[in-house]
Amino acid sequence: MHTVAKLMAELGLVAWVVRRRSGLTRPGKRPAAPDFVKRDFTAEEPDLVWAGDMTEIVTEKGKLYLATVIDQFSRRLLGYAMGSHHDADLVVAALHMAAATRR
């Protein structure tokens, strides 16, 4: 038995396994967005390439979604938004915050 598993068993702890779920993309719904950076996410200077991510956070009170925008050069968080729905409004709010930090 592995050391961590043995220690957890001794302490009466049970691991919480999070199942990966399929993506939220709906194939065939819309054409894919153009790949302007051609899958190369490196940047030679700030504000050339921004990346976004959407994360689902499970809490005792339900699900929470976090949208983030990061500058690929500095790896700095430029904007974020949290909400109870996984939708475009959340992404737009994160982009607005990111744009406001760059003025």
- pTM score of the predicted model: 0.68
SS3 state at 101: helix
Domain count along the chain:
1
Q: What's the pLDDT tens digit per position in 9-44?
A: 888 887 777 777 666 666 667 777 888 888 888 889
The verdict on residue 38 lying in a domain is: no
Q: What's the pLDDT tens digit per position in 41-77?
A: 888 999 999 999 999 998 888 899 999 999 999 999 9
| Structure-block tokens of residue 77 | 């968080």
The verdict on residue 98 lying in a domain is: yes
Plot region of 83 (φ>0 → left; ψ -120 to 50 → alpha; else → beta): beta
pLDDT band at 6 (very low <50, low <70, confident <90, very high): confident
The verdict on residue 9 lying in a domain is: no
The verdict on residue 17 lying in a domain is: no
Closest CA to 65 of 42, 96, 90: 90
